[in-house]
Structure 1
Amino acid sequence: MEDKVTHFGSDTLTSGKAMMAHGPNALHSFVAEKFEAVMGRELPQMEVRYHNLSVTTNVTVTGEITAESELPTVFNTIKRSLAKFAWNKRVVQKEIIKNVSGVFKPGTITLLLGQPGSGKTSLMRVLAGQFPKSGNVEIEGDVSYNGVPREEITKLLPQFSAYVTQFDKHFPKLTVRETLEFAYAVCGGGMSKHTEEMLSQGTPEQSTEAVETARKYFENFPDLVIEQLGLHICQDTIIGSGMLRGVSGGERKRVTTGEMEFGMKYMTLMDEISTGLDSAATFDIITTQRSIAKCLHKTIVIALLQPAPEVFNLFDNVMVLNQGEIIYHGPRDQAVPYFGTLGFKCPPRRDAADFLLDLGTNMQKKYQVEPPTGMTQHPRLASEFSEYWRQSPLYADLIGAINAPHDPERLTDVEEHMKLMPEFRQSFWESTKTVTERQWRLTKRNTSFIFVRALMVVVMGLIYGSTFYQTDPTDAQMTIGILFQATIFMSLGQTAQVPTFYQARDIFYKQRSANFYRSASFAIANSLALIPQAVGESIVFGSLVYWMAGLVAHAGHFVIFLIIMMLMNLVYAAWFFCLTAICPSFNIAKPMSTFTIVIFNLFGGFVMAKNVMPDWLIWVYYLVPDSWSLRAL
């Protein structure tokens, strides 16, 4: 490996393939050597400590839950719906994470093991600063990053802490490269000014070489991520979805991992990244992450379910969670011997990871041997395992590390790097431009939707125009009816946007939690992307209806009619966008959109005139957009 590092030069940093030619360790060693030589110290690092951390939530229970009550029958569905209004409801406190303590040191890679529901995801999201805030969830305990309490840097935390979710949420119409390049752009893109200043502290020759190395490294970073994750074969293939053919499930999982690789991250937390991957792909990814941890001094924590033995051996430390409690957190090679002191022996042909996962479950009996002296019986519950863990010498060492003074170098990293980190890498207008470009690309590629909408607008325009063909313009009732029907068409047509908005909402939540961009940038980008569609639909539909119906043959009146149609199109699209943000699920947003259309049309001034509306509901008339458009027309 030394020979590879020696022959690795800055002229090799021309593409992702060239950078990975000698393997990830050679690349990362070369980059670290160049950077640290100029800085005169190691690269910025992060040590995470948490002490007595607990997460609890209040759950409303309306009755006893049995296997029969969970069956998807009509009776059970009705019963669960009515149970929400029951008088015998009670609130039960559920502990998700129970008083856990630990430390993740820089330069180490830790494996997080646990059965589903053990609290792995909750722990990682709390440490990443992405645990959802809710009134019925309470987080207790101390979490610090290089000695800085979590509460002081919550907004900045996503900038130096990456969290890879276990769910693959992506835009199906974008290619693999486009998805990763978007993440690259919003997470800082090339070399930042702060990085350039950091690499200008050595001799002129050293600084010039380090800056040039960094510039090439960051410029080709999307290619590097694609090569590291083995996505070069499918980089120009759309991601796809359950209804649209694209990349495979394993490739989609690797895109999820790569999306969070960009930016100056000091800590990476990965949640179930091996789902859908074969053992070879998982091994390559973990090998790369180990190289990043060792050479670039990053803090890496990865949750895996049943890793292969060769993957398990790549980790330095192992944490085992069971029902929200830590039953082991220490060196990987001491995990099996530790449980041997509790009377559990791992069979020769049993994987160590599977052995650790079976402890605290009904499967542990096959590992039980004679209890050690002083033990009357084997621990069975998670609380019993946790109690033995707290009495072990390894736990005492862990508490000693938590209470130890912080390394002065880590405190320097806080002052020189962490506190100088902006909340967002791009400015407001830059991020708005980037998100708008992505949204416009998505709009153009939704060709089937555009074609169907265009066909619908033309057909409905001809139907409306022929139905009211050359009506008498002096017939006020008929004219108002035509105008009102036109506004109804605009409102009903925008309900088709609700599923699209919901798909984008899940992706927005993930990317906003990672501080990719501001919420306002996303909202503005979506609004701007709707304008061309609104203009086109209004011109086509408005022209057919206006001239076929024989309305006033005046250019000014016609332009006003088109403008109002376009505004109605945008207003309803904005309203459904708002409903999507407010409603907790699609099943609620869809009927709510229909309900609001009925209200808007009912109080629009045509179905029910203003002078016959009840006085206590007259305020609705002034709120709905239909009334304003009808009066303007």
Structure 2
Amino acid sequence: MVKGISGGQKKRLTTGELLVGSARVLFMDEISTGLDSATTYQIIKYLRDSTHALDGTTIISLLQPAPETYELFDDVILISEGQIVYQGPREYAADFFAAMGFRCPERKNVADFLQEVLSKKDQQQYWCQYDYPYQFVSVTKFAEAFKTFVIGKRLHDDLDRPYNRKHNHPAALSTSNYGVKRLEILKSSFQWQRLLMKRNSFIYVFKFIQLLLVALITMTVFFRTTMHHDSVDDGIIYLGALYFAIVMILFNGFTEVSMLVAKLPVLYKHRDLHFYPPWAYTLPSWLLSIPTSLIESGMWTLVTYYVVGYDPQFTRFLGQFLLLFFLHQTSLALFRVMASLGRNMIVANTFGSFALLVVMILGGFIITKESIPVWWIWGYWISPMMYAQNAISVNEFHGHSWSKPFADQNITLGEAVLTGYGLFKEKYWFWIGVGALLGYTIVLNALFTLFLTILNPIGNMQAVVSKDAIRNKESRRSDRVALELRSYLHSNSLNGLKLKEQKGMVLPFQPLSMCFKNINYYVDVPEELKKQGIAEDRLQLLVDVTGAFRPGVLTALVGVSGAGKTTLMDVLAGRKTGGLIEGSISISGYPKNQETFTRISGYCEQNDVHSPCLTVIESLLYSACLRLPSHVNDDTQRAFVEEVMELVELNPLSGALVGLPGVNGLSTEQRKRADNRVHHPSAKY
């Protein structure tokens, strides 16, 4: 598929994924993110009607609901700084704060009022007891006052009263962990993974072509006209060819690491929601990997076996094919274990590379068995490559081409090659190798299932600075830095505006206007849509869009999810690298040059991208260091960064690690605040 769905459409998909089930209790976290108000209203209205009709339990977390959406709720829980400020009927929420001296204006959205009245910056505007001087009321005081409020007392009494279980029917509670029978789960999972393989067919085709090209190169290196069967030295060359085949098949499973790590968030989500047990994923993935192993091992054997000049017996050909097949299965299982154990691309790749290194070094070819130190000999016996190397070598050197007697000894030339290189010469080692690789495949897939069952995503590791530390830091802040910055701004201001004696600081920038005319944007129609009857080769996402952005004007781009808002902004900002763009874009009358335009523009993405290992303040300082003019010194940069952090209320999170989206670190709303630019571009998106 060429074009995916938008962020808002993904949010609707996530909501629909839960609604199609028969859940009696729904926990829905910020489902309005990325949705337009009309869609949010329709979803909440459906949830309210179904909750009332089915007597269900629904808890929805919303950041800033519209007034009509807020009116749909029965109860409201207001939480701040980890404390419950209000919990009870929606219509009494404003009355509680009115009793505390804060009144919601008539035309004010109550949901906005409930959030702003707890903010130190916005609370004072709602103070209504003019006979008394205003003093900031902390969240803790609100929480304590709620306990004495009539709703709080009623809630306390209800919680103290034991619940009568006679009112519940035994069938109301679920007695099974999963919604359908195991066979149905396995069947659905098999079909789902087969569809994913079809969607990712390009990756598998690329792997096949890559392996085919390497096999063709191998043919030219180990060509049968230069390969002989007359001496031990000739046998060593064949051992090298066999070792190279083993390494290529082993390495070809490394792509499982990145593919599985990308799937892990979905697998953990399905596991935690009890869609299916982990074995219902690992078993179909194992079964579906068998055809790819057959193709890859068969392709390598067919292309290289007779051209290289291995023993011409057909049974030897089948033996090598069988060995490479089981080796490929072992390789896939090994790297799946590494991915499920690492759970992170960097960690999993490190584990996978280390596993490859150990398996190759202790496999018996790079370092022979006799040369391995005693304290490392255990690694030789547990290396899958050792069993593969011995088995495939025994299969080759017990063939007819190597049955010549060797010197005056009572052994064949093939046995002499095996003995001379420290390999086992007994014929039964072929079946030992096959059995060992099969055993490794089973054990590693079992470990893969175990790790998916017991391990969770890498946890949240935050280092949040306390509020007291922030206050102390602010009190020690140098007034000299602020004065220096104001002096710099005053001397470099392009419009000659005088800076007022205030805490806020604004960096000067060149006002620019942007005009765009007849913008059309096309993408190739996906094959899936063509199969549904769409005859066009291109899909038009923007149609003759014309407009202008003027300096000093804050413009809102409004539309339902999937309307093309992100597409238009990407086109104007020059972030679209695919598709066809038509039309003209000019900056202050000049044609837009993307190389220079990027320098004076800032783009706050819908999906926030940050370095996960940096803290919030480190991310902003790094951006300021790279984007602010070079004559702004470090102290001035830091002063401005701290002003930006205070503006977007990031001070309590200054020492928190950003982390990975949906895994650890900052929340979605905090990431969006951290994405504010600190270099004051002429155009912001």
TM-score tier after normalising by the smaller chain length: 0.5 to 0.7
How many angstroms does 1:407 deviate by?
Answer: 4.6
1:456 to 205, 210, 223: 210
Q: Using a 3 Å threshold, how does the CA distance of structure 1 residues 380 and 549 change in structure 2: closer, same or farther?
A: farther
Indicate the residue corresponding to 2:254 in structure 1: 495
1:55-134 matches, cutoff 5 A: none
CA displacement at 1:355 relative to structure 2: 1.0
Structure 2: which 5+ residue stretches go unaligned?
393-685
The AA in structure 2 aligned to 1:404 is R
How far 1:345 sits from its partner (Å)? 1.7
Distance change in 2, residues 1:396/1:372 (3 Å): farther
Residue 399 (structure 1) aligns with: 156
AA in 2 matched with 1:432:
L
Letter in 2 for 1:416: A
Cα offset, 1:476, TM superposition: 2.2
Distance 1:390 1:285 in 2: 33
Tell me by how many angstroms 1:372 deviates.
Answer: 9.3
- Select 2:267's aligned residue among 490, 502, 508: 508
Are positions 1:319 and 2:77 aligned together? yes
Question: Contact 1:342–1:371 (CA<8 Å) still a contact in 2?
Answer: no
Aligned to 1:521: 280
Q: 1:379 deviation in Å?
A: 5.2
Matched, 1:424 2:178: yes
Q: Does structure 2 conserve the Cα–Cα contact (< 8 Å) formed by 1:316 and 1:332?
A: yes
Matching of residue 619 in structure 1 with residue 378 in structure 2: yes
The alpha carbon displacement at 1:371 in A equals 4.8
Aligned partner of 1:335 among 59, 73, 93? 93
Counterpart-to-counterpart distance in 2, 1:449 and 1:580:
18
Q: 1 CA distance for matches of 2:282 and 2:99?
A: 58
| 2-structure distance, mates of 1:533, 1:545 | 18
Provide the rounded CA distance (Å) in 1 between the counterparts of 2:265 and 2:257.
13
Q: Which amino acid aligns with 2:87?
A: H
Shift of 1:513: 0.4
The CA deviation string for residues 252-280 of structure 1, in whole angstroms up to 9 with x for no partner, is: 11111111123432211111111111111
Instruction: Check the 8 A contact 1:473/1:551 in 2, yes or no.
Output: no
SS of 2:223's partner is coil
Give the Å deviation of 1:458.
1.0
Q: Distance in 2 between matches of 1:386 and 1:430?
A: 49
User: Can you give the 5+ residue segments of structure 1 that lack an aligned partner in the other structure?
Assistant: 1-237, 239-243
Structure-2 change in CA distance of 1:287 and 1:370 (3 Å):
closer
Q: CA deviation at 1:467?
A: 0.8
For residue 312 of structure 1, report the CA deviation from its aligned partner.
0.5
Secondary structure at the aligned position of 2:212 is classed as: helix
Shift of 1:482: 1.0
1:258 paired to 2:16:
yes
Is the CA contact (8 Å cut-off) linking 2:261 and 2:343 kept in structure 1? Answer: no
Contact 2:124 2:136 in 1 (8 A): no
Matches within 5 A, 1:567-578: 567-578=326-337
Give SS of 1:268's match.
strand
Partner of 1:51: none
Q: CA deviation at 1:377?
A: 6.2
Q: Pick closer, same or farther for the CA change 1:466–1:484 going to 2, 3 Å.
A: same
| Residue 363 of structure 1: how far off its partner (Å) | 2.9
Q: What is the aligned partner in structure 2 of residue 550 from structure 1?
A: 309
SS of structure 2 residue aligned to 1:363: coil
Aligned to 1:142: none
Task: Provide the rounded CA distance (Å) in 1 between the counterparts of 2:126 and 2:166.
Answer: 46
Cα 1:630–1:351, aligned 2, differ >3 Å: closer, same or farther? same
Write out per-residue CA displacement over residues 119-146 of structure 1, whole angstroms, 9 at most, x where no aligned residue.
xxxxxxxxxxxxxxxxxxxxxxxxxxxx
Which letter maps to 2:106?
Answer: P
Distance 1:371 1:491, change over 3 A: farther
Give the SS at the match of 2:122: helix
SS of the equivalent of 2:159 reads: helix
- How high is the TM-score relative to the length of structure 2? 0.54
Letter aligned with residue 228 of structure 2 = D
- 1:57-456 alignment to 2 at 5 Å? 244-371=2-129, 378=135, 380-408=137-165, 410-411=167-168, 413=169, 415-418=170-173, 421-456=175-210
Contact 2:24 2:57 (8 Å CA) reproduced: yes
Corresponding residue for residue 581 of structure 1: 340
Percentage identity across paired residues of the two chains: 27
Deviation track 1:53-74 (CA, whole Å, cap 9, x = no partner) reads xxxxxxxxxxxxxxxxxxxxxx
Offset of residue 408 of structure 1: 4.9
1:539 maps to amino acid: G
Match of 2:442 in 1: none
Contact residue 345 and residue 367 of structure 1 kept, 8 A = no
Contact 2:123 2:136 in 1 (8 A): no
CA distance in 2, matches of 1:284, 1:392: 33
Task: State the TM-score, normalizing by the size of structure 1.
Answer: 0.59
Does structure 2 retain, via aligned residues, the 8 Å contact 1:343–1:369?
yes
Q: Which amino acid aligns with 1:395?
A: G
Q: Deviations over 1:278-325 (max 9, x none)?
A: 111001101100110111111111111101001001001111110111
> Retained in 1: the 8 A contact 2:297–2:321?
yes
Note the alpha carbon deviations across 1:133-166, whole angstroms, 9 max, x for none. xxxxxxxxxxxxxxxxxxxxxxxxxxxxxxxxxx
Distance 1:495 1:410, change over 3 A: farther
CA deviation string 1:165-184 (max 9, x = no partner): xxxxxxxxxxxxxxxxxxxx
- Specify the SS of the correspondent of 1:260: helix
Tell me how far apart the structure 2 counterparts of residues 328 and 538 of structure 1 sit (CA, whole Å): 65
Greater RCO (Cα-Cα under 8 Å, separation 6 or more): 1
1:519-539 CA-to-partner distances (Å, cap 9, x unmatched) read 111111111121111110111
For the Cα contact (< 8 Å) 1:343–1:378, is it kept in 2?
A: no
Aligned to 2:228: 472
Q: For residue 253 of structure 1, what is the amino acid of its counterpart?
A: K
Task: Report SS of the residue matched to 2:297.
Answer: helix
Deviates more, 1:319-328 or 1:586-595: 586-595
CA shift at 1:378, angstroms? 4.5
Q: Which amino acid aligns with 1:472?
A: H
Residue 364 of structure 1 deviates from its aligned partner by 3.1
CA contact (8 A) 2:193 2:285 kept: yes
Distance 1:562 1:383 in 2: 71
Cα distance change of structure 1 residues 409 and 339 upon mapping to structure 2, 3 Å threshold: same
Equivalent position SS for 2:275: coil
CA contact (8 A) 2:96 2:146 kept: no
Backbone CA RMSD of aligned residues: 1.9
Find the aligned partners of 1:408 and 1:618 in 2 and give their Cα distance.
64
Distance 2:93 2:41 in 1: 21
How big is the shift at 1:491? 1.9
Larger Rg computed on CA atoms: 2
Which string of whole-angstrom CA distances, capped at 9 and with x for unpartnered residues, describes residues 16-47 of structure 1? xxxxxxxxxxxxxxxxxxxxxxxxxxxxxxxx
